[in-house]
Amino acid sequence: MTTSASSRDHCSRRGDLAAPCSVCGAKEFNICQPLDPARQASLYARAVRLHWARREPVFAAGQPARHVYNLTEGMVALSRSLADGRRQIFGFLLPGDFIGLEAGDAYGCDAETLSDAKACRFDRATFDAFLRDNPDVALGLVRAASSDLAQARQHELLLGRKTAVERVASFLLDLRNRAGERHLRTQPLSLPMTRSEIADYTGLTIETVSRIFGRLKSQGTIDLADATAVRVLDEARLKRLSEGAD
Amino acid sequence: MTTSASSRDHCSRRGDLAAPCSVCGAKEFNICQPLDPARQASLYARAVRLHWARREPVFAAGQPARHVYNLTEGMVALSRSLADGRRQIFGFLLPGDFIGLEAGDAYGCDAETLSDAKACRFDRATFDAFLRDNPDVALGLVRAASSDLAQARQHELLLGRKTAVERVASFLLDLRNRAGERHLRTQPLSLPMTRSEIADYTGLTIETVSRIFGRLKSQGTIDLADATAVRVLDEARLKRLSEGAD
DNA sequence: CGGTGGATTGAGGTAGATCAACATGCGTGG
DNA sequence: CCACGCATGTTGATCTACCTCAATCCACCG
């Protein structure tokens, strides 16, 4: 996992799954707005930096929502399960994403690391106060919240109406696009989640996911060095597959 | 469709699918907070009241998001479709719900009336200005937005991991609960949407939805006077069915 | 090495889709 | 008021995409 930051790009991020921002005045802190340094520092001083290993819980559904996290390194999955264990994964968070922002009094889903991960943690009260003093940042978060909803709806469409191939292709393209937006590596694209987690995201089974990866590979649409890294060889085709053509 | 409002309940709503609020100072206006009358009036004066027939578009995905609506009567469906026509319905809005709040520059989904419907329409700029002056109302909307996300995730779980029976049972219970919260009639519960729309909400087909309604009826779990009105006879059982028991 | 947790691959089963026929209700116009 | 047509809903028969179960493979690690 390599990390470096160009001094020219604001909030530029390199490497695989890390995103310290070198411009905002604080390492491993991702509110990418040119804040006045005093205010920045005051919030930063109250941030607790955390480090998890792979497959550790960040929080669980139902717990009192005392903290807000900003992920700086690694990936986190949000999910909820039925009583009998069937699980739905809502999304895979990338460095730069906030975790637990949308919660009311209690977290509404489980959050678990998929890889080694780091985050800044803020007390909810501190964070709210900070937002009250920084309406520009707050506005950004409102945008983020509305994009979460848009993404959830995209996912509903995937789960309710797409075929297995369309789901897997959409999953790959979406992850790739989001990684690209954050300047993470997209070729090969890192897949720290297991087939089981991809299955729980796409509403399929492990076996179906595996078979479809196999089919995409033998078609020459993608290449898999190992199970955790995809190289997209024919993006146009993948796009068509994700929308029901072919 | 009968409408009356008790003078004791704030924002109490009666009847089937109508929700004028008699306390907020303006008929057919649902920001249920005791606003100072001057501010209330200023926004109310700029609201345009609209009336649609059944199956009319409110707006379509991709259109510039110039307005925000507050539904006062009837039901509206939010959906998006794939190029080949497959459609996913995200939810059915009830009187009191806002429409188009979450949009960025453009609406992210199609909104269509399921019945005769009325709404107050506000210019986005007017509305935003109003919110800026009324942080309490704005806070309420933030809550509403976060509950939209919670609901979307509930729906993702339904679409990704529930069986057909569980989906239909969940749909009925959810609609019933939301109708109850707004003091709309819940017994019998009005279903202005067609089987096709229920199918597009549950990710099933018309036929499967119809068969499951039939099964629930012959079990004695529900009763259907006609296709558009359900009476829940055994709520506990319906709840168990929605969660995978039985 | 052997053991363990993924991932892949194959064979067969099934929930729900699809296709098809029919029923029902409703508005329209004669 | 009835006859017709159309939209919606129900029900049955069959099909199939994906699931389930099972075997094998593979990489990593103590």
pLDDT tens-place string over residues B165-196: 999 999 999 999 999 998 999 999 999 999 99
**Tell me, what DSSP letter sits at residue A186?**
B
Instruction: Look at residue B2 in the predicted model and tell me its pLDDT.
Output: 32
| pLDDT, average across residues A158-179 | 98
**What's the structural domain count of chain B?**
2
**Structure-block tokens of residue B94:** 């009830």
In a domain, A219, yes or no: yes
Look up the CATH number of the domain holding residue B172: 1.10.10.10
For residue B79, what are the domain limits?
37-156
Same domain, A41 and A79: yes
B12 confidence band (pLDDT: 50, 70, 90): very low
Same domain, B202 and B111: no
Q: Alpha carbon of A128 to those of A101, A123, A131, B61, B132: distances in Å?
A: 10, 9, 5, 33, 17
C-alpha closest to that of A16 among A229, A234, A193 = A229
In a domain, B29, yes or no: no
B245 confidence band (pLDDT: 50, 70, 90): confident
In a domain, A166, yes or no: yes
Name residues whose C-beta falls within 8 Å of residue B58's C-beta, 6 or more positions apart in sequence. Answer: B52, B69, B76, B99, B100, B111, B112, B113, B119
Instruction: Look at residue B215 in the predicted model and tell me its pLDDT.
Output: 96
Look up the CATH number of the domain holding residue A87: 2.60.120.10
Which nucleotide is closest to B214, CA to C1'?
D10
| pLDDT, average across residues B28-33 | 49
Task: Among all protein residues, pick the one whose CA is nearest to the C1' atom of C9.
Answer: A211
Give the distance from residue B175's alpha carbon to the nearest chain A alpha carbon, in angstroms. 18
C-alpha to C-alpha distance for A3 and A15, rounded to whole angstroms:
5
Q: Strand C contacts (CB < 7 A) among A residues 99-128?
A: none
pTM of the model: 0.88
Instruction: Look at residue A21 in the predicted model and tell me its pLDDT.
Output: 37
User: Residue A23 above 80 pLDDT?
Assistant: no
Statement: the CB of A163 is under 7 Å from strand C: no
Among residues A125, A156, A187, the one where a domain terminates is A156
pLDDT tens-place string over residues B68-118: 998 989 999 999 999 999 999 999 999 988 899 887 889 999 999 999 999
Same domain, B71 and B51: yes
C-alpha closest to that of B191 among B205, B174, B203 = B174
Among residues A116, A135, A156, the one where a domain terminates is A156
Same domain, A173 and A149: no
C-alpha to C-alpha distance for A196 and A210, rounded to whole angstroms:
10
Q: Which of B102, B156, B162 lies nearest to residue A156, judging by beta carbons?
A: B156
Chain A interface disruption, residue of B153, B197, B208, most A CBs within 10 A: B153
Same domain, B102 and B172: no
Among residues A99, A123, A156, the one where a domain terminates is A156
Same domain, A114 and A215: no
B142 touches chain A (CB under 8 A): yes
Rg over alpha carbons for chain B, rounded to the nearest Å, is 18
pLDDT tens-place string over residues A86-110: 999 999 999 988 899 887 889 999 9
pLDDT tens-place string over residues A177-227: 999 999 999 999 999 999 999 999 999 999 999 999 999 999 999 999 899
C-alpha to C-alpha distance for B158 and A88, rounded to whole angstroms:
9
Contact: B145, A150; criterion CB under 8 Å = no
Instruction: Look at residue A246 in the predicted model and tell me its pLDDT.
Output: 72
Q: Strand D contacts (CB < 7 A) among B residues 192-221?
A: 194-196, 206-207, 209-211, 213-214
pLDDT tens-place string over residues B116-136: 999 989 898 888 887 777 777
